[in-house]
Amino acid sequence: MNPDLNRLQPYPFEKLTALKAQVTPPSELEHIALSIGEPRHPAPEFVLNTLRHNMNRISNYPTTKGLPELREAIAHWCQQRFILKPGTLTADDHVLPVNGTREAIFAFTQALIERKPGALIASPNPFYQIYEGAAYLAGAEPYFMPCLEENGFIPDFDAVPADVWENTQLLFLCTPGNPTGAVMGLDVLKKLITLSDQYDFVIASDECYSEIYFDEQTPPPGLLQACAELGRDDYKNCVVFHSLSKRSNLPGLRSGFIAGEAELMQKFLLYRTYHGCSMPVQHQLASIEAWGDEDHTIANRAVYTEKFERAGEILKPVLNFELPEASFYLWPETPINEEDFAQKLFEQQNVTVLPGSYLSRTLDGQNPGNNRVRMTLVATMDECVEAAQRIRRFVESL
């Protein structure tokens, strides 16, 4: 077996399961999960109808590159959403459908990395654990950049030594951030593109939370948008990942895309041809409908906005946090150790949250997730309000 498999850490939810197994929650309280980022809002009915009406396509092998109509829908959405110059992001050369961002992030890393001593993949810390696992199994080492409150939960890229940039082959971004909800501005993205030119590394921007934000007039910018503003219409060394899981409440559809520089897409298509991960045709047809509609995403954001307002009002008097710019996460400080907080909250109130240290790594004695928990407001409105009330009672009892 590949010896690098031994370097993989347990997934955060495995750690959480073990933590919760040590205690028993009160049976009179229904369990409320604020731990996993699985949207619970209803899926758009028009998407489900398209899926139902095309189940006969299950008899067709899908192609790796996907339906031209789906790639056209994605390219059009990108152009409109990120204000791209028409004709610069094309369905044929710059877009590939993928089965959710997780498999694509992992696979792209395997295709990209040149295995050689000292190869680095730079990543935010805390982070989506796929970044780390993909690095190890591609033969590279992760280089973690802490996301601290004093920097608005954005990595301090100026603090990264030149020799690290020289050995970096891939830089992962997550904007809006998981678990912080922090959004990188266009000035930061442009600075990173300049660094990419200087040191010749690829930027992979994980933007799967980009459509959950709270100011309809100010959507989070993206990496392709920064390219467009720089006149970088070839998107050199830049790729983005997007998904319908969060945007359209379709996590089980496993539908997303990667888009960016044509040469990178061409080589990644070759990899995927061997990888064997084509999206089912009926899922592609349903995805076309989802990418072509914005009304359901506006309605979705309105529900999240209300949930954050109501939960925030309840929790603000007892916990220290700022409402995020985007995403569906709260990232509050805890008055006690984050593992103790999560375990005792479950034991006393039957509410599950995720210890922040499970999403982070300790470097130089510092773990950005210490004394923080991730709360995911994906449950129903009533459940989120009830969970916030229980959390407040728990904190007040400490």
Short-list 170, 109, 102, CA closest to 130: 102
The terminus-to-terminus CA distance of the chain in angstroms comes to 48
Mean pLDDT of the region 354-377: 96
- pLDDT score for 314: 98
SS percent in the chain: helix, strand, coil, step 5:
45, 15, 40
- pLDDT score for 350: 98
Give the start-to-end residue ranges of the domains of the chain.
3-42+296-397, 46-293
Mean pLDDT of the region 31-39: 93
Task: Look at residue 88 and tell me whether its pLDDT is greater than 90.
Answer: yes
Give, as one character, the DSSP assignment of residue 370.
T
In this prediction, residue 37 has a pLDDT band, given cuts at 50, 70 and 90, of confident
- pLDDT score for 177: 96
User: How far apart are the C-alpha atoms of 205 and 237, rounded to whole Å?
Assistant: 11
Short-list 280, 1, 46, CA closest to 137: 1
Domain spanning 3-42+296-397, CATH architecture: Alpha-Beta Complex (3.90)
Mean pLDDT of the region 188-202: 98
Each residue's pLDDT tens digit, 94-151: 999 999 999 999 999 999 999 999 999 999 999 999 999 999 999 999 999 999 999 9
The whole-chain average pLDDT of the chain stands at 96
Q: What is the pTM of this model?
A: 0.96
- pLDDT score for 12: 93
User: How far apart are the C-alpha atoms of 128 and 179, rounded to whole Å?
Assistant: 9
- pLDDT score for 238: 98
CB-based contact 385:311 (threshold 8 Å): yes
What is the CATH code of the structural domain delimited by 46-293?
3.40.640.10
Mean pLDDT of the region 366-375: 96
User: How far apart are the C-alpha atoms of 367 and 369, rounded to whole Å?
Assistant: 5
Mean pLDDT of the region 147-172: 97
